[in-house]
Structures are given as C-alpha cells and as structure tokens.
Amino acid sequence: MSTRRKVSLITLGCARNEVDSEELAARIEDAGWDLTDGADGADVVVVNTCGFIEAAKKDSVDTLLAAHDSGAKVVAAGCMAERYGKELAEALPEAHAVIGFDDYTAIGDRLDDVMAGRAHQAHTPRDRRTLLPISPVERTASAPDVAIPGHGGQDDLPDGVAPASGPRVLRRRLGGGPVAPLKLASGCDRRCTFCAIPAFRGAYVSRPPAEVLEEARWLAGHGVRELVLVSENSTSYGKDLGDLRALEKLLPGLAGVDGIERVRVSYLQPAETRPGLIEAICGTPGVAPYFDLSFQHASGPVLRSMRRFGDRERFLELLDQIRAQAPEAGVRSNFIVGFPGESEDDFEELAEFLSAARLDAAGVFGYSDEDGTEAAGLDGKLDPGEVARRVEELSSLAEELTAQRAEDRVGSQVSVLLEDKAEDGAFEGRAAHQAPEVDGTVLVRGDGLALGEIVTARVTGSDGVDLVADVP
C-alpha cells in the first residue's frame, strides 16, 4: 500500500493550461507525490486557475473555495495566481499558498511547505512584457539536445521567464483519451487593448521544431492519435526563431509521426493567417482543415480601438480563400460585444458578418474591464444592461446560424475520431471540423467500431452543432 502523499490537480481554462498541468503533474510525481482524481482523499488540491476574463476568475475562486471545503489543503496556481499574487493571497485566506510560474520548478518544495504549515510568501506580480525572453539558443544551450518530456532540462531559466517546455506526463489514467494538446510556444507579443495575457505570460517564445517533433513522437507512443497545437498565438510560431514559415514547415513532420492520425492547429490570428499557412492546413494530409480564427469583432473602427487588424469585408475574403481550398473546412471564432465606443451600427456590422461567415462554432462574450489593460481606461463605456442585451442577441443569432451550418453537413461524409462510448453501442467522437471541448461532437453508429480509431461516416442528422452519422 502506497504511503506517498496525494495531490489532486484541477485544471481550469484553455488547452494551454492543460499542458501546464501535465508539466506540473510530472514534477509533482517526481517529488514523491501521487496524483489522484478528485479532492476526496487528497492531502493537497492544486487549482490551475484561469485569469482571462471576469467569469473565468469567478470560476477559479469558486473552485478554490470548493477545494477548501473538501478538507484538503489548497494551492492556487496558474494565470490568476500569477496575475494577482499577494493580492489574491490576502483576499483568499482559504488558499494555503498562492504560487507563480517561477515556483513551478520547485512545486515539490512548495507542497512540502504547505503540508508542514510553513507560510509561503506570495509573489508581487510583475509586468512580464518588460522582461527580456530567453532566446531559443540560450534556452537549449543548457538543456539536452532534445528536451524529452519527463526529463526536465530547463530548470535554470531566468526569473520571470516561463519555460517553453518542461517535463510532462499524460494523465490518461485520470480520464484522458486519444487526444492531447501540444504546446508550440509561450507568451504573446501582440498588444490588444482588452487583453492582459502578455502582462503575465510574457513575450512570445517558440519551442524549437525538433523539440516539438520529439514530444509528438512521445505522445504517439502513449496512445495519442490527435495532436492539438496550442499557444497564445499559433500564427506567430517561428518568428523569434527567424522563420515566419516555421509552422507550415512543421505541420508535415507532425502529421507524419507514426501513430498520429490528425493534427489540429488552434488560435490563429487573422492578420497573420498568410496564404502559405492556409495552403499547409488545407492541403497537408493528416492536418485537419480547421481554422480557429480570433476575429473578436467585424467593425473596422472597433477593431482599430482594440488594436487589431481587419473588418467585415477582409474577414469574409479570408474565409473565401480558405473555402476555395477546402470547402468543408471547419471555422470557429470568438467575439467581444459591448466594447467601449461600440455603436449600434458597429454591432449591426458584427451581426451581418456572423450571418455571412457560416461559422461552425462561435463564442460570444460581453466586454468587461480587465486590470492593467488599455481598454479599461477608454471612454465610451456601455451600460452593463446594454452589453448584456447585445450578448443575448448575438448569442441567439450565433446559435441559430451554427445549427444551420451543422444541418448543411447532413448527407456529407466526415472522418470521425472515436473518443467515448455512448448508449446502444454507439460512439461519440469529433469530425475534422470539431475541436475538443469547444465545438460540437458526432454520435457515430455502426458495427465493429473501437475507441481511438478514425472512421469515415455519413452524416444523417444534426442537433444544434452536434451531428449524427452512420458507418456503412
């Protein structure tokens, strides 16, 4: 019977956070702890928080409080903990420790401190945009030639620079499947006026292609069949390595890894989605023709105020370029409504774009001030009630349009990765136009099906954004 202490690791937010949790999990196990699913029986619960928007921060606090109610000791990690540090520790005494990114390499020591009742001094947050990122050459000079997951090699990074990679463990025994996120880079160099991510994630640092490929092989060896490439901005991959075409060069190599059936790219900036990248995503066998495009709005004046590129016409032209090469390509996006200064005409421009775009999935969020962002100081703030009305109106339109897009796929053939068993011998999976968790799913019916395989099925029905399909 194991006498090792137990840690429950709860992950909130995006797939990027999931990769961070896997790296934390590896370090926790290396420090002599056992990972357990759920807070019951855990000595410590580590919550990898999200700090992107107000709703995510509330969810993080609620999760920390629920963990405390379980009787376990509680550690706050992740973006919210990094962003607020001492402020969060003072406001939430239920957390026994609030740790920043610089504590990750010593997570075992932090957990020992918590169990021993030793107080941990939470950090004073710094604006990581002012910190010089470690260069790829410097980063790899002191690491192994290839940073193999689970073997460290980057514990000597300068303070304030988040590691671009680290040891990793697939927590498949805690409910995983044949899909895994694969981190391309850390940080972001864009300066959108509404976003605080660069302030606590730091400058953009790409992982070397050889390192990404080695991790892909490692994941394939652990049963992964679909890789989801994640970063704060995947279209910037390679710019700090001196190669703006690094991503399109990398995709064929990833798709060619033995055991990998599908590669999916997430979080593309419209301004950086160049023709060569479109061609690589649409035309590389094994790469899903899927475009997670961060439009955010469609009114030119609002986008300029957000310090972003584009307008309705340019975005529709981009979609035309994509569908000229892959007519059935999946496209999803997120939109902010109620941004300071957004007029009724601006809102109507966004609604018209949504009607014409034929998106497979769309997230709609109401604007809220975020600490430390330029937008928080802008004039023209809308009444919260008006923001809520616009969110409801656009969300309703998006739900109707994405359901219609799914219905349009009835009669078509889709390649579905089978991920879970459903009732009556059916399986639930995802087609190439559907990303994990954020998009719809496909209920697949047929004989001789098995988890983890990709099957070709004909779509026979739809329910909202979800599809029903049969394998002959």
The secondary structure of 425-442, three-state, reads HCEEEEECCCCCCCCCCE
Residue 14 labelled as part of a binding site: yes
User: Rounded distance, CA 200 to CA 80, Å?
Assistant: 9
Strands 226-230 and 179-183: parallel
Phi/psi of residue 371, each to 5°?
Answer: -55, 135
* Sign, CA torsion 105/107/112/118: positive
The CA-based angle 335-309-437, given to 5 degrees, is 35
Helix (H, G, I), strand (E, B) or coil at 214: helix
d(Cα 288, Cα 17) in Å, to the nearest integer?
Answer: 22
Chain centroid, CA 194 distance in Å? 18
User: What Cα–Cα distance (Å) separates residue 465 from each residue in 292, 294, 300, 407, 408?
Assistant: 16, 19, 29, 8, 11
Nearest partner of 282 among 329, 246, 332, judged by Cα: 329
- C-alpha gyration radius of the chain: 22
Report the Cα–Cα distance between both ends of the chain, in Å, rounded.
Answer: 49
**282 is known to lie in a ligand binding site:** no
Closest CA to 363 of 52, 40, 47: 52
Contact 63, 12 (CB under 8 A): yes
Q: Which two tokens stand for residue 180?
A: 């895994």
List the structure tokens of 143: 């690491």
Side chain identity, residue 290: Y
* Residues facing 364 on adjacent strands: 335
Residue 188, annotated as binding a ligand: yes
Structure tokens at 426: 């059916």
Is residue 130 helix, strand or coil? Answer: helix
**Binding positions for [4Fe-4S] cluster:** 14, 50, 79, 188, 192, 195
Which residues contribute to the annotated binding site? 14, 50, 79, 188, 192, 195
